[in-house]
Amino acid sequence: MNKIAIIGGTGLASLEGVEIDETKKVDTPYGSPSSALVFGHFGEKKIIFLSRHGNPHTIPPHKINYRANIHALKENGVENIIAVNAVGGITPEMHPERIVVPEQIIDYTHDRNQTFYEDNLNEVTHIDFTNPYSTVLRKQLTETSAISGLNVFVGGVYAATQGPRLETSAEIQKLEKDGCDIVGMTGMPEAALARELDIHYVCLALVVNWAAGKTDEEITMAIIEKHLEDGLGQVKLLLKKFMSSC
Binding site for ligand HPA (CB under 6 A): 86-88, 161, 166-167, 183-185, 208-209, 211
Closer Cβ to ligand HPA, 17 or 163, answer by number = 163
CA distances from 109 to 68, 140, 189, 239 (A): 18, 29, 8, 28
The C-alpha atoms of residue 86 and residue 9 are separated, in whole angstroms, by: 9
d(CA 53, CA 35): 8
Helix or strand run (H / E) with residue 191: helix 190-196
Separation of alpha carbons 196 and 194, rounded Å: 5
CA separation, residue 140 to residues 90, 202, 227, 242 (Å): 26, 10, 25, 8
CA distance 82 to 200: 9
Task: Find the shortest distance in angstroms from Cβ 184 to ligand HPA.
Answer: 4
Q: How far is the CB of 82 from ligand HPA (least distance, A)?
A: 18
- CA dist 42 and 40 (Å) reads 7
With respect to ligand HPA, which residue has the nearer C-beta, 75 or 171?
A: 171
